[in-house]
Structure 1
């Protein structure tokens, strides 16, 4: 990921928690994304992309990734939680 893209991503992530809860301040992030390979024409290969907040310790990152796994597993087994 280019430094410019990482900066834009960091700014967007920094702004998002305040949209959800006034005054919230992100202290780290771990982003996982899945995509299709484009290096080979007509590729069906799946690629996994990741981005981790600069300067954050591995314990924070591992905690976020572990929490994401648990949430995703619960959603897969029980469905999305109802809003409201």
Structure 2
């Protein structure tokens, strides 16, 4: 799988950004409303199109969030995000 890298600048408090990307409610507020957790996984659905199953590998309120894919649609253990 090819690497896809995005760099996005955000003018916001670190605590606000962290909540937006590290919590179910935060992700549901900007990515997809159909965001749930189950057995330590994040499950993001996009209607009939499909979705992502992610395992949270690291949560650090000082500025790091890491997720890895859990098979759907990426191969198991594919690094999906590395937020700093």
- TM-score (structure 1 length as normaliser): 0.25
Q: Which structure has greater strand proportion?
A: 2
- TM-score (structure 2 length as normaliser): 0.25
Whichever of the two has the greater Rg, that structure is 1
Q: Which structure has greater helix proportion?
A: 1
Of structures 1 and 2, the one with the larger relative CO (CA 8 A, separation 6+) is 1
